[in-house]
Amino acid sequence: MKYLWVLILYCPLVQASDFDKHYWSAAGITVAAIGADFGSTVALVGHGSCPVEAYSPFMYGRRAEPARVGVVMALEASFALGVGYWAKKHNHRLWAAPMLYMTAVHTRGTINNLRRCQ
């Protein structure tokens, strides 16, 4: 066990110069917004006052099954983070645009679910 700690402390896999704080901060915010939308959609849509998905039924279906919602949101997150990473590595100025867009869309979805489905 002590050799594992030596490996972790003295041989980091990610060098400090390779770790991009701005990208990973934006990625963390995006994933948190998508996670909040996933949780509120699964917990609230299809139950009580929101019997069907009204905001985007073409993506999640009318009843918003957890597996389908999870797959769709995971694909959205991976696409936004992948495009943002590619743009950041190729020095595009708008590298954060896909992540900001997904953050805005899923924050709106979370607010919509919490406001209308209580």
Q: Would you kindly state where each structural domain of the chain is located, as residue ranges?
A: 23-116
- The predicted model scores a pTM of 0.79
User: Ramachandran region of residue 12, left (φ > 0), alpha (ψ -120 to 50) or beta?
Assistant: beta
Distance CA 113, CA 108 (A): 9
Q: Give the up-direction half-sphere exposure of residue 82: CA atoms within 13 A in the CB hemisphere.
A: 6
Residue 108: per-residue pLDDT = 92
Q: Hey, what are 76's tokens?
A: 């959205």
What pLDDT is attached to residue 65? 82
Given a contact cutoff of 8 angstroms between Cβ atoms, the answer to whether 74 and 37 are in contact is no
Q: For residue 32, what pLDDT is reported?
A: 96
Cβ–Cβ < 8 Å for 45, 112: no
Please, are residues 110 and 36 in contact by the beta-carbon 8 Å criterion?
yes
Which pLDDT belongs to residue 17? 53
pLDDT at 7: 47
Both ends of the chain: CA-CA distance in Å?
49
Per-residue confidence (pLDDT) for residue 8, from 0 to 100: 52
Q: 49-76 burial string, b = 16+ CB within 10 Å, else e?
A: ebeebebeeeebbeebeeeebeebbeeb
Q: Which residues of the chain have pLDDT under 50?
A: 4, 6-7, 14, 16
Q: What is the pLDDT of residue 43?
A: 87
